[in-house]
Amino acid sequence: MKYPLVLRILHWTMAVIILGMIWAGWTMVPMDDNTPSKFDHFYPWHKSFGMLALILVLVRLAVRLRASLPPLPNTLSAWEKAAAKTGHIALYTLMVVVPCMGYSMSSSFTQSDGVYFFGVNLPEILPKNDDRFEVFQALHKYLAYTLLFLVVIHVAGALKHRFLDKDPRNDVLSRMT
């Protein structure tokens, strides 16, 4: 049994967006502030795709609550099932929290002109306060690294089940392709 098509599309779309966002963060943050593309392209696109990721994960959660999902294979061990459940909860939590911290960061930074969502200026949700900005900035950064770590574990687990497990029924990747 496979995941519903809409969930598979959302899964792979979000995978590309999240990996792109991490790459963009690594690329733009160390850039010199005098580099025009840093603030003309990287930051606005990073913010737009961050908000898109937040919207998509909320849609994904809503669809997931209503959809019939394939159960984990009975051939998986109890610890693998528990790890999968815990990992998915952590992934979904971070897919919501990381963009919220980015939005909070942009809203609270006194030098920020706000968050644009593909050209639409979104309302700022917090008062300007650079001390709070620094907290949100640290949370955004470290939680994004935590999300990346969990994505790597998630991919490694799926590949382990596909290529290393002796029982082909453990191949959970086939449910999402």
Whether 113 has a pLDDT exceeding 90, the answer reads no
Read off the CATH number of the domain in which 82 is found: 1.20.950
Quote the number of domains for the chain.
Answer: 1
More confident residue, 10 or 115: 10
Q: Which amino acid is at 91?
A: L
The token pair that represents 94 in the structure block: 């971070």
Q: Of 139, 138, 136, 130, which Cα lies nearest the Cα of 111?
A: 130
- Residues 36 and 28: their CA atoms lie apart, in Å, by 11
For residue 114, the enclosing domain spans: 5-175
User: H or E stretch including 74?
Assistant: none
The token pair that represents 105 in the structure block: 């960061």
pLDDT in tens, 8-41: 999 999 999 999 999 999 999 999 999 999 999 9
pTM of the prediction? 0.94
